[in-house]
Amino acid sequence: MTKSDSKSELCDLAVTTTLAEPEEKRRPSRRAALFLRYVQPCLAELLGSTLFIFTGCLSVVENVSGTGRLQPALAHGLALGIVIAVLGEISGGHFNPAVSVSVCLIGGLKVVLLLPYIISQLCGGMIGAALAKVVSPVESYHNASGGAFNVVQAEGQVGPAIVAEVVMTLFLTMVVCMGAVNGRTRSLLAPFCIGLTVAADILAGGAISGACMNPARAFGPAVVANYWTYHWIYWVAPVVGALITGSLIRLLLGDETVRVFLK
């Protein structure tokens, strides 16, 4: 080996070592890694759910100008699209237990995070609904039941409301799973599409069931306003819709990494 070759090898080794050292230093500690993997996503779900449900409840309470379902539809759709766009890279941007269930079923969320996500979303729902109560006029808040879902008032309305909630949740969770999780159909426009889906569902089915599609959105104002009439509909129907979505994607619509059959 010549002296020039030896110097070249030493120089390469020095460069490699210099480049490797900062990379070692940039590696997060175990505590930081656990925070990024488990704690930060739950905090993002808590914050996003709070902002989304605060906006949604307030839009219902303040809808006194005769705009019908247009104001709640735009407020819910825009707020959800925005929080997904800014927080989605941290947690996936669920802000909805039904969405978390469907995403978990197709492998987009670790099972160990499902319950913490749902708890974070429910807590965010209560905080958002409480903030809406704080800033709302008492009379408007009372007339709107605090933004809780009060559309279903009789037994004859229960069946149509359940079917509507199942189908609308199916629509929403399908857009989330196919637009943001499934590799073959994933799109940068997913936040926009998800927000539009919520707005479309409210415009279409708001008079039938209230167009909840989100147990956290129902639970928060129900707790704060103590309004529980037919509340169970907004848990059962969205979960059924999410399970149908997960099954369809797992069996038929998912890409090769998600689909169970005919890979």
Q: Is residue 6 a part of any domain in this protein? A: no
Q: Is residue 23 a part of any domain in this protein? A: no
- DSSP secondary structure, 27-87, as one string: SPPHHHHHIIIIIHHHHHHHHHHHHHHHHHHHHHHT--SS-TTHHHHHHHHHHHHHHHHHH
Position with higher pLDDT, 29 vs 44:
44
Per-residue pLDDT averaged across 148-155, rounded? 93
Q: Is residue 20 a part of any domain in this protein? A: no
Number of domains in the chain: 1
172 pLDDT exceeds 90? yes
CATH number of the domain encompassing residue 70: 1.20.1080.10
Tokens (6 digits) for 222? 């129900």
Tell me the one-letter amino acid at 150: N
Residue 145 half-sphere exposure toward CB, CA atoms < 13 A: 18
Q: Is residue 5 a part of any domain in this protein? A: no
* pLDDT score at 69: 87
Yes or no: say if 98 and 238 are a contact pair by the CB < 8 Å rule: yes
Write the pLDDT tens digit of every residue in 41-72. 999 999 999 999 999 999 999 986 666 889 99
User: To the nearest whole number, what is the mean pLDDT of the chain?
Assistant: 90
- pTM score of the predicted model: 0.87
Q: Is residue 8 a part of any domain in this protein? A: no
Per-residue pLDDT averaged across 134-158, rounded? 93
Q: Which of 120, 8, 128 has the alpha carbon at shortest distance from 58?
A: 128
Position with higher pLDDT, 12 vs 170:
170
Q: Which pLDDT band holds residue 263 (cuts at 50, 70, 90)?
A: low
Q: Is residue 173 a part of any domain in this protein? A: yes
Q: Which of 240, 182, 193 has the alpha carbon at shortest distance from 213?
A: 240
* pLDDT score at 14: 46
Q: Is residue 139 a part of any domain in this protein? A: yes
* pLDDT score at 103: 97
Q: Which pLDDT band holds residue 75 (cuts at 50, 70, 90)?
A: very high
User: Residue 215 belongs to what domain range?
Assistant: 36-253
Q: Return the number of other C-beta atoms located less than 10 Å from residue 154's C-beta.
A: 7
Per-residue pLDDT averaged across 228-245, rounded? 97
258 pLDDT exceeds 60? yes
Q: Is residue 7 a part of any domain in this protein? A: no
Yes or no: say if 172 and 193 are a contact pair by the CB < 8 Å rule: no
Per-residue pLDDT averaged across 168-184, rounded? 96
Write the pLDDT tens digit of every residue in 80-121. 999 999 999 999 999 999 999 999 999 999 999 999 999 999
What 30-35 contacts at long range (C-beta under 8 Å, 24+ apart), as own/partner pairs, is none
